[in-house]
Structure 1
């Protein structure tokens, strides 16, 4: 099993949207970065777990957990000229973009904000892509050690940090 972090803007698609979907499952579509595409297509496996991260908000952070429930497959929004994610160079015969289906697991007991995560950037979260400068990937791998540390943070009261 591998671990991941999935970023999304809650105004576009947040964790509550995922929870409200039929079977609490949704395709993670619209990824238009080749490095993230390669992770979706080549590395993610059914059963992998991920953090759901709300970005581009006043207090960005990890808000919940999700599970990968399909292998990577071509993102149909790339073929749809009415989609904001349309890519005329991507065809069903030669797809350029991929997605996986994800399923809601649970909300965290409390959000774990980016500021809190950054406080551990020189220690337990050293090397964690999210706390590096200029990391704008919408999907990134999470090591098992980082996964366990972040879940342990969930149990801490906010005022302890």
Structure 2
């Protein structure tokens, strides 16, 4: 049951993030509630703890990138929904794939736009200054809908776990 809800949530989020660069609350919140309710009914208090811990793990993994303005709230809520449905170890395992896929997508986009060298220079300059003040949000024109990486990473991890 939760696996089917996960796949539906991922499919809808993938499409909406590509089309409108948004992951809608009408998709993520019901997924969170379904995960919590289903796991609680099926496994009792352990199921409730399983879902809440997964939800909090999803939140914890993306709260800093969100606070720094690197991703949107919809991305955080999508990872929270994945956690509520499948638990903390699943969301953490997915996150490893998500970060790799997100990095590859970012690298490909920078190469295609001819901006890899400038971006690396900016990163090293900022690192030497040991402050984020050197980064201007207006320069982040290489941003991409990170929900795509979340969906692809979760599907890759699902393949490792279930198949």
TM-score tier after normalising by the smaller chain length: under 0.3
TM-score, normalised via structure 2 length: 0.26
Structure 1 or 2, whichever has the larger Rg, is: 2
Structure with the larger helix share: 2
* TM-score normalised per structure 1: 0.26
More strand by proportion, 1 or 2? 1
